[in-house]
Amino acid sequence: MSLTLYMHPLASFCHKVLIALYENEVTFRPETIDLGDPGSTAALLAKWPVGKIPVLHDGDRERVVPETSVIIEYLQQHYSGPVPLLPEDQDARLEARLWDRVFDLHVSVPMQKIVTDRIRPEGGNDPFGVADARRTLDTAYAMIDTQLAGKRWATGDHFTIADCAAAPGLFFASIVHPFDGGQANLASYFERLLDRPSIARTLSEARPYFSMFPYREAMPDRFLYDGVS
Ligand SMILES: N[C@@H](CCC(=O)N[C@@H](CS)C(=O)NCC(=O)O)C(=O)O
């Protein structure tokens, strides 16, 4: 097997794929990309001109696989393990795909908007866009809290692609836009995510880079040390 993951240990979408890889103990080689360094991004751009990370390269099949949801589906097709992140049952699979989209589009994307606005050059901020992102997160948190009633994981009893998407989105969103204190289902789900070994490992590997996070000062102390829960 010769899988290479072009990634950065702090990047939330990279966490989503790392969690999937660790869940199924898939062997891969991480290739760290510094998005601010043209020398470092050249190999990535040659494979995926959009320039977003992560991107998976499968040397055995000479296949470049971008986009986290597609990467996870590809891993399941060709490097499956004990944890089926896309369920066999078609209805359950649709549900997992739906909540994967919800966490990416309505948690991670607005979270990224808030984070990246902080590092824009002077005069380049977008207060309207940031306020809109905060409203999106409020709506998403309420939806997720309702969805989680009586569930262990995002779509039921089994850990799926939706939980891989949820963990990094909620981790960083909880720092830049804390949950409403009344959302008990969301709060307890978040703690279960933090306790999951694949997620704890991903966060542990990201920890040396937390000083680069634009909202570093807002990180709760418990996130700064191993054994986050
Ligand atoms: N839809 C993409 C999103 C990937 C993404 O936004 N990655 C971020 C890092 S977390 C990135 O590459 N940002 C750099 C940029 O936007 O220039 C996916 O699911 O793979």
pLDDT of residue 36: 87
Q: Is the beta carbon of 224 within 6 A of some atom in ligand 1?
A: no
For residue 150, the CA-to-ligand 1 centroid distance in Å is 32
Q: Between vectors from CA 197 to CA 191 and to CA 200, what angle results, nearest 5°?
A: 65
Question: For a pocket test of ligand 1, which of 7, 13, 111, 212 has the largest count of ligand atoms closer than 8 A to its C-beta?
Answer: 13
pLDDT of residue 226: 74
Give the whole-angstrom CA distance, residue 187 versus residue 192. 9
Give the whole-angstrom CA distance, residue 21 versus residue 75. 8
Structural contact between residues 79 and 26, judged by C-beta atoms closer than 8 angstroms: yes
Give the whole-angstrom CA distance, residue 209 versus residue 47. 25
Neighbours of 84 (CB within 10 A): 19
> Which residues, 6+ apart, have CB-to-CB distance to 104 below 8 Å?
13, 16, 68, 69, 165, 169
For residue 87, the CA-to-ligand 1 centroid distance in Å is 25
Neighbours of 174 (CB within 10 A): 21
Instruction: Write the residue with the smallest CA distance to atom 16 of ligand 1.
Output: 52
DSSP 155: T
pLDDT of residue 227: 64
Does domain 90-196 bear CATH number 1.20.1050.10? yes
- Sorted by where each begins, the domain ranges of the chain are 90-196
Ligand 1 atom at minimum distance from 54 CA: 20
Tell me the pairing of strands 55-58 and 63-66: antiparallel
Structural contact between residues 135 and 145, judged by C-beta atoms closer than 8 angstroms: no
* pLDDT tens string 110-121: 999 999 999 999
Structural contact between residues 185 and 149, judged by C-beta atoms closer than 8 angstroms: yes
Ligand 1 atom at minimum distance from 52 CA: 12
Per-residue pLDDT of the chain (229 residues; tens, 9 = 90+): 699 999 999 999 999 999 999 999 999 999 999 988 998 899 899 999 999 999 999 999 999 999 999 999 999 999 999 999 999 999 999 999 999 999 999 999 999 999 999 999 999 999 999 999 999 999 999 999 999 999 999 999 999 999 999 999 999 999 999 998 899 999 999 999 999 999 999 999 999 999 999 999 999 999 998 765 5
